[in-house]
């Protein structure tokens, strides 16, 4: 395993059908399909359980054809509200492990779990997550483990359902290269024939092809795909990359487990500053704040608070995070702290009912921020700082 990053890709198995089975246990073990317009012959299969797939039922298959292949197929209409609720519960579980979660669809996402490196085996951690999802939600999932997002995504597809697969860079040539080019994540169905026309039939063919040839025929996108075929992908797990589910957060592992209030306060201050900077950069406000604490014994807890007024200000963010910490902390030594904001909204929608006693204070705070921002841009981040000079040492 490449020890610079630890990335998981979690993919729910037959998500819509699995949610329906979790809702009605009588469906367990039966061929179930979710279909649009089940009353009409022109309806198509949205997804199906593995029992249905074993009978030849496939996604996008016409309903009449699916029934022909599986006469006892149980057809259900999509229930969007139920699926969204299950998705929300899923990602709440994932966020309890790290703020660095990137949702890519309703039923899959990436987790950057690099902070767990050297502390717990990746497979043990994956099993823990998988078992929580199965126990708390009654849903199956597969997890890919790798040093980057592309390899993690490819790994999660290798064993379904309920698979856990590690794909190291040193495994690429053996496990990835023999796969047909159409199985590579990022290769669109419409371009498969074009790749094959130029004798690129496998992922290995792409990985070892002449770079200039790939650039000439497929442009920058082709070069990018060739890099990934060789196991290289430097993209970060981006928590605010997915529409309405976006969040902005940071976490840090402390240099030593500590009960020192000064160290904890300074760490929260630094995390609030980093989150605040990103909120300002994207010009968004948060309607929720979440605090993550991991203790010396690796127990992790999260506490969150919905806000009456959306916030962006560092001091307000720190105030909420500190209050959450004081309520949640059990006095045990702290290993990791994280602050994340969620339910983000653009500035134009983030109005605040300012009264006669607060609007001047808000304006002064904004003016101060602009002055500090200009100083930092001109002289560097260290020119203006708040904090304590003594950070570590006596725990008293």
- Taking only the tens place, the pLDDT of each residue in 109-122 is 999 999 998 889 99
Query: Of 20, 51, 108, 316, which residue is the catalytic one?
Result: 108
Q: Mean pLDDT check: name the lowest of 154-163, 245-254, 311-320.
A: 245-254
119's tokens: 């502390």
Length of the chain: 396
**Lowest-confidence region among 55-64, 147-156, 244-253:** 244-253
Q: Is 11 annotated as a binding residue?
A: yes
Q: How many CB atoms lie within 10 A of CB 148?
A: 22
Express each pLDDT in 332-374 by its tens digit. 999 999 999 988 877 655 544 333 334 345 545 555 555 655 6
3-class secondary structure, 257:
strand
Q: Please say if the pLDDT value at position 264 is more than 60.
A: yes
Q: What kind of architecture, by CATH, is found in domain 173-229?
A: Orthogonal Bundle (1.10)
CATH of region 16-79, choose from 3.40.50.970, 3.40.1710.10, 3.40.1170.60, 1.10.10.10: 3.40.1170.60
Average pLDDT, the chain: 86
Q: Select, from the ranges 48-57, 180-189, 276-285, the one with the highest average predicted confidence (pLDDT).
A: 48-57
Strand pairing of 74-76 and 284-295? Answer: unpaired
Ordered DSSP codes for 89-111: HHHHHHHTT-S-EEEEETTEEEE
Q: Determine the 3-state secondary structure of 210 from DSSP.
A: coil
312 versus 359: the higher-pLDDT residue is 312
In this prediction, residue 38 carries a pLDDT of 58
Residue with tokens 């246990």: 25
What per-residue string of b and e applies to 371-385 under the rule 16 or more CB within 10 Å gives b?
Answer: eeeeeeeeeeeeeee
pLDDT band at 212 (very low <50, low <70, confident <90, very high): very high
Q: Is the pTM of this model over 0.75?
A: no
What's the token pair of residue 199? Answer: 């004798």
Q: pLDDT of 126-137, one tens digit each?
A: 999 999 999 999
pLDDT (tens digit, 9 = 90+) per residue, 139-166? Answer: 999 999 999 999 999 999 999 999 999 9
CATH 3.40.50.2300 fits 246-383, yes or no: no
Domain ranges of the chain: 16-79, 173-229, 246-383
Predicted local distance difference test score (pLDDT) of residue 392: 41
CB atoms within 10 A of CB 36: 13
Assign 229 a pLDDT band (cuts: 50, 70, 90): very high
108 is catalytic: yes
């Amino acid at each position: 395993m490449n020890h610079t990053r630890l990335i998981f890709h979690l993919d729910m198995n037959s998500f819509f059908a699995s949610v329906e089975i979790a809702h009605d246990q009588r469906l367990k073990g039966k061929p179930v399909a979710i279909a649009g317009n089940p009353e009409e012959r022109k309806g198509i299969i949205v997804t199906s359980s593995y029992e249905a797939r074993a009978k030849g039922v496939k996604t996008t298959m016409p309903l009449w054809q699916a029934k022909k292949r599986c006469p006892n197929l149980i057809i259900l209409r999509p229930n969007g509200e139920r699926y969204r609720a299950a998705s929300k519960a899923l990602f709440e579980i994932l966020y309890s492990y790290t703020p660095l979660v990137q949702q890519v669809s309703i039923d899959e996402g990436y987790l950057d779990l690099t902070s767990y490196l050297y502390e717990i085996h990746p497979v043990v951690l994956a099993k823990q997550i998988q078992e929580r999802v199965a126990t708390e939600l009654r849903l199956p999932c597969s997890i890919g483990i790798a040093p980057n997002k592309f390899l993690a995504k490819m790994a999660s597809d290798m064993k379904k359902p309920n698979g856990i697969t590690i794909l190291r860079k040193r495994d690429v040539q053996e496990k990835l290269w023999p796969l047909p080019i159409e199985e590579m994540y990022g290769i669109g169905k419409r371009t498969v024939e074009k790749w094959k026309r130029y004798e690129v039939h496998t992922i290995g063919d792409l990985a070892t092809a002449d770079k200039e040839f790939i650039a000439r025929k497929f442009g920058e996108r082709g070069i990018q795909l060739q890099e990934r075929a060789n196991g290289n992908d430097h993209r970060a797990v981006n928590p605010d990359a997915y529409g309405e589910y976006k969040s902005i957060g940071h976490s840090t592992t402390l240099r030593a487990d500590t009960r020192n209030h000064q160290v904890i306060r300074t760490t929260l201050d630094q995390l609030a500053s980093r989150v605040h900077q990103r909120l300002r950069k994207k010009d968004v406000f948060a309607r929720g704040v979440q605090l993550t604490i991991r203790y010396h014994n690796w127990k992790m807890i999260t506490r969150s608070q919905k806000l009456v007024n959306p916030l962006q200000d560092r001091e307000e963010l720190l105030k909420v995070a500190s209050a959450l910490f004081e309520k949640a902390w059990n006095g045990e030594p702290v290993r990791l702290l994280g602050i994340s904001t969620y339910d983000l909204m653009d500035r134009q929608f983030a109005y605040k009912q300012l009264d006669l006693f607060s609007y001047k204070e808000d304006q002064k705070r904004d003016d101060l921020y602009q002055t500090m921002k200009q100083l930092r841009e001109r002289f560097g981040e260290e020119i203006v700082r708040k904090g304590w000079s003594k950070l570590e040492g006596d725990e008293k």
